[in-house]
Copies of this chain bind each other. A is one copy, B any other.
Amino acid sequence: MLGIELNRKSELYLWHQIYQNLKELMISGQLKAGEALPSTRELAKELDVSRNTVCEAYDLLIAEGFVISRQGASSRVSDGLCIEPLEPASSPKMKSKAVRSISVSFQTGRPDLRQFPRFLWKQLLHKAYEKLPLETFDYTGPQGLSELRVEIAAWLFRSRGLKVASDDIFITAGATHGLHLTADILCKGGQKILMEDPCHTGMLGTLINKGCSIVPIPVDDRGIQTVHLSKYEDSSAIYVTPSHQFPLGGILPASRRAVLIRFARENDLYIIEDDYDSEFRYSGLPIAPLYSMDPQRVIYVGTFSKAVFPALRIGYVILPYQLQKRWRDLRTHMDVQNPPLEQAALAEFLRTRKLDRHVKKMRKVYCRRRKVLLDALGEAFGNKWIAYGDAAGLHVAVDFPGMSFGEAFKKNCLQNGLYVTPLESHCLEKGRHQSKLLIGYGHLEPDAIKNGVVLLSDIIEKSSF
């Protein structure tokens, strides 16, 4: 009598249940090494199952080496199977935090998904699937779908005047992924990376996780202050957002761009240009990427997360030739390649200029919302605030001179149903931007923006920061 209980309603076959029960008895030591198992006939009778069912269980136990069977003798438990039972699972259930309801979230970097042409995208997916060659269901290499790379090159030319060969474009699973792989190439041994300060904490986290040693370089309202670079000639790369500095919003002026390129050349380092949202410029004129000034020194990181949707997980890097072989090797051993379907749909989205149209539409939407936000701030705070940076993107940095916003303020806002980020939380060196807040508005309807500003003004009024 082994005490096996079978559940005849289980999804698991009876033979599998017998097998598992016997295995557990052997591993826990209740069936000891050398002990004889009951014959298949006996056990079948005891459990009221067919003898075949028991045979299947025994066969697997023999195949896996739990049981040794010898012609004419009964099957016996193998040696050395017993292992200590586990302590009761140490995985505590997550405490269900009392979720506070947020009535307005000024989170940054969120496009408005309600405006995405969902039906059109479905048609593109459908069409793309029909046309996908069977080979694309197999491994097709680390660089990405060639049609998509050709369309990205054409799009960069017509929207930014950027001339780039599709062979130099490498599809990624988004900007973060692009930066992760770039860091693998550039700072294997924990080398220094120069980084704008303040910067995007997500991107910072990516570089820190790669073991890079981060050197903060201060930013003003026109981007990175290149005058501070000369101290760090022994670095391996510099990360910048020249088209629309995150989070302060400046456009890097031409003279600083020239300094940056010269500095990179003289000290043999690479510039990582993150162009995360510059599709959305409201003064109407697109900024030329730094990449165009030196395609051998600049690694351009682009993404479709803002222009299409975040969960698409398609971006790209434009790589100097000398890094391409290493990239291919690293990508192959990292996550192999992107899946093909969304790449093909995106290629069609670009080829038919539907992306251009969507971006144009959203530019108008975001521009109007920006105006709503600035008007509401004017109404609530009179002239006691200054909007930072240029008219672009999905957020704005707002300076309230004399104020000081930190974690306590953020928490206070959350308690009042408002999510807003003090700019200090994006700073490596603390204390230089305490009077600024980051307000993301792209995803919010005008009324939500106005309500958010009223809420913000109430909180500021009632507290003393």
Contacts and interface: CB of A to CB of B under 8 A. Distances in A.
A91 B309 contact: no
A447 to B, nearest CB: 19
Contacts of A16: 161
A321 B91 contact: yes
A385 to B, nearest CB: 23
Contact of A333 (B202, B251, B265): B202
Interface string A273-317: 000000000010101100001111000000000000111110000
Contacts of A81: 254-255, 258
A86 B205 contact: no
A261 B85 CA distance: 11
Contact of A206 (B265, B312, B333): B333
Given A19-B161, A174-B336, A321-B91, A265 B138 contact: no
Interface residues of A, number: 103
A8 to B, nearest CB: 15
A134 B161 contact: no
B321 A340 contact: no
A118 to B, nearest CB: 8
Interface stretch (A37-45, A121-129, A397-405, A416-424): A121-129
Interface of A: 11-12, 16-17, 19-20, 23, 26-27, 56, 59-61, 63-66, 78-84, 86, 89-92, 110, 113-114, 116, 122, 125-126, 129-130, 134, 136-140, 154, 157-158, 161, 168, 173-174, 176-177, 180, 184, 188, 202, 205-206, 209, 211, 222, 251-259, 261-262, 265, 283, 285, 287-288, 293-296, 309-313, 321-322, 329-330, 332-342, 390
